[in-house]
C-alpha cells in the first residue's frame, strides 16, 4: 500500500415514515423492538441522506461529519455498524491507480465519513433511519446509480437482508429503508435477533396514487431523542405494554390488508390511530414526552376532518389532494415538503409549485 491515496464511495438513501410505529425495545444493544412496525419509504428525490465514506492510509482515526459538523463516533451504535462491516470486509483492488487493500489491512485502516441529510436532522423525520441505512447499504430500484457506502467500499458480499440487520443496530427504523414501497419490520422472537427482519410488503408501484405529504411544522431538534424517549416509555408507560401486546398485533394485520387492497379510508384511519396512540404513549411516559406542537395538533384535526368527509375514493383523489393542500397551506406558515411512492411526472408540477416555497 502506498501512503498517498484515498478511496471513496457515496450512497444515497431515502427515509421512511412509519404508519404502524416502532416504539420500545426489548433489547437495547441488538435493537430488538417490542412490536412489529410498518413504514412507507419516501421518494429519495425529496427526503434523503447522502453519505460518502473514504479510506486512506493517511487517516489517523475514524472520523465522521454530519451536515458538515464533526461528531463523535464513540457511541455504541456507530461502533457496532463499523465493527460488523469491518468483520466482513474483503480485498479491494483499484488496478488503474495501483491500490490494493487486503482483507487484513481493513483492521488498521481508518475511515472518514461525511453525511448530509437534505431535511431536518433529529426533528422527527427519521434522519436516523436514512442515516444508518445509508452508512451501511443502499436501497433498491430508485433509478439512480446509488452504491452501498461502507459495504461497497469494503467489498462486503453479504446480502441486503444481512446488511439491513447491521443497520438495525445503528437505528431500529433504518432496517426498513432497505426496500421501497411498504416495508414491515417483523419484531421476531429470538434473543439473538436473527428473526428480527425487514420484509417488503409491496413495492413502490403497487399504490401509485398514494401521495405522502410531509408538512414540516418545526425543523428544530427534538428535545428527547427517539432512543431515550422509547427507553423511558418502556420503563414507565403501562399503555405501551397494552399497545405492544393487544393493539399493534391486530392493527398490523388490518394495515397489511388495507395496503394490499389499496383501501385508503382504512389505511388513513389506521395510520392516524396508530400515530395518535404513539403520542399517547409519550404522554403516558414519566416524565411525559411532547413531540407535537399546536400546529401539528391542528394538522391531525385537518387529517381527521378530511377522512371523516369520506371523499377519499380513487376517482376523487385529485380533487381531494388539492383541497387538502389548500387547507394545509392556510394552516401552516411553514410549508410542505413532499415525498411519494413514486412521484409521477404529471403530478410533479403540482408538487414542485408547493416545494419551491419550502423552507428546507
* Least separation in angstroms between CB 278 and ligand ADP: 12
Burial tier of 58 (Cβ tally within 10 Å: 0-12, 13-18, 19+): exposed
Name every residue whose Cβ is closer than 8 Å to that of residue 345 and which is 6 or more positions away in sequence.
none
Binds 21, which of ligand DP6, Co ion, ligand ADP, none (CB < 5 to 8 A, cut-off by type)?
ligand DP6
Shorter beta-carbon distance to ligand ADP: residue 74 or 349: 74
Please give the angle made by the CA atoms of 275, 206 and 145, to the nearest 5 degrees.
95
**E-strand stretches of the chain:** 7-14, 16-20, 25-27, 32-33, 37-41, 48-56, 63-66, 69-71, 92-94, 99-101, 110-117, 182-186, 197-202, 211-215, 336-340
| 99 in Cβ contact with 93 (< 8 Å) | yes
Taking CB under 6 A as the criterion, which residues in 241-280 touch ligand ADP?
Answer: none
Shorter beta-carbon distance to ligand DP6: residue 121 or 320: 121
Note whether 226 binds Co ion by CB under 5 A: yes
Q: Render the burial of 256-292: b for 16+ CB within 10 Å, e for the rest.
A: bebbeeeebebbbbbbbebbebbbebbebbeeebebb
| 274 in Cβ contact with 21 (< 8 Å) | yes
Among 12, 16, 37, 49, binds ligand ADP (CB under 6 A): 49
Shorter beta-carbon distance to ligand DP6: residue 37 or 41: 37
Note whether 167 binds ligand DP6 by CB under 6 A: no
With CB atoms as reference, the residue minimizing the distance to ligand ADP is 131
Among 117, 128, 196, 285, binds Co ion (CB under 5 A): 128
Note whether 196 binds ligand DP6 by CB under 6 A: no
Closest CA to 179 of 38, 82, 21, 24: 38
* Least separation in angstroms between CB 18 and ligand ADP: 10
Note whether 22 binds ligand DP6 by CB under 6 A: yes
* Interface stretch with Co ion, choices 127-135, 187-195, 200-208, 283-291 (CB under 5 A): 127-135
SS3 of 107, please? helix
* Least separation in angstroms between CB 320 and ligand ADP: 28
* Interface stretch with ligand ADP, choices 114-122, 238-246, 331-339, 350-358 (CB under 6 A): 114-122
Please give the residue ranges that form the binding site for ligand ADP (CB under 6 A).
Answer: 49, 66, 115, 117, 121-129, 131-132, 135, 222, 225-226
Please give the residue ranges that form the binding site for Co ion (CB under 5 A).
Answer: 128, 226
Amino acid at each position: 500500500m502506498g501512503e498517498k491515496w484515498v478511496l471513496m464511495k457515496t450512497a444515497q438513501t431515502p427515509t421512511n415514515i412509519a404508519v404502524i410505529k416502532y416504539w420500545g425495545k426489548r433489547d437495547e444493544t441488538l435493537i430488538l423492538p417490542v412490536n412489529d412496525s410498518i413504514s412507507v419509504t419516501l421518494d429519495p428525490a425529496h427526503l434523503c441522506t447522502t453519505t460518502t465514506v473514504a479510506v486512506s492510509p493517511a487517516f489517523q482515526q475514524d472520523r465522521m461529519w454530519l451536515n458538515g459538523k464533526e461528531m463523535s463516533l464513540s457511541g455504541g451504535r456507530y461502533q457496532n455498524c463499523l465493527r460488523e462491516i469491518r468483520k466482513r470486509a474483503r480485498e479491494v483492488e483499484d488496478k488503474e491507480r495501483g491500490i490494493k487493500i487486503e482483507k487484513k489491512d481493513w483492521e488498521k485502516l481508518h475511515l472518514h465519513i461525511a453525511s448530509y441529510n437534505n431535511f431536518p436532522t433529529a426533528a422527527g423525520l427519521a434522519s436516523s433511519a436514512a442515516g444508518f441505512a445509508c452508512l451501511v447499504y443502499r436501497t433498491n430500484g430508485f433509478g439512480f446509480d446509488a452504491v452501498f457506502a461502507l459495504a461497497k467500499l469494503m467489498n462486503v458480499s453479504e446480502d441486503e437482508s444481512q446488511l439491513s440487520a447491521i443497520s438495525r443496530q445503528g437505528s431500529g427504523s433504518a432496517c426498513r429503508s432497505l426496500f421501497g414501497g411498504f416495508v414491515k419490520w417483523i419484531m421476531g422472537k429470538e434473543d439473538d435477533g436473527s428473526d428480527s427482519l425487514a420484509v417488503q410488503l409491496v413495492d413502490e408501484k403497487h399504490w401509485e396514487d398514494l401521495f405522502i405529504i410531509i408538512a414540516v411544522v418545526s425543523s428544530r431538534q427534538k428535545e428527547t431523542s427517539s432512543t431515550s424517549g422509547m427507553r423511558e416509555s418502556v420503563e414507565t408507560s403501562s399503555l405501551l405494554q397494552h399497545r405492544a401486546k393487544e393493539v399493534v398485533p391486530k392493527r398490523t394485520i388490518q394495515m397489511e390488508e388495507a395496503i394490499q387492497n389499496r383501501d385508503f379510508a382504512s389505511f388513513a384511519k389506521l395510520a392516524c390511530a396508530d400515530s395518535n396512540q404513539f403520542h399517547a404513549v409519550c404522554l403516558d411516559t414519566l416524565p411525559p414526552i411532547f413531540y407535537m406542537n399546536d400546529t401539528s395538533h391542528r394538522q391531525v384535526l385537518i387529517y381527521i376532518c378530511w377522512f371523516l368527509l369520506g371523499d377519499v375514493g380513487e376517482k376523487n383523489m385529485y380533487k381531494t389532494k388539492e383541497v387538502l393542500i389548500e387547507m394545509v397551506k392556510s394552516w401552516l406558515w411553514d410549508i410542505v415538503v413532499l415525498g411519494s411512492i413514486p412521484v409521477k411526472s404529471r403530478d410533479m408540477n403540482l408538487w414542485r409549485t408547493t416545494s419551491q416555497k419550502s423552507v428546507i
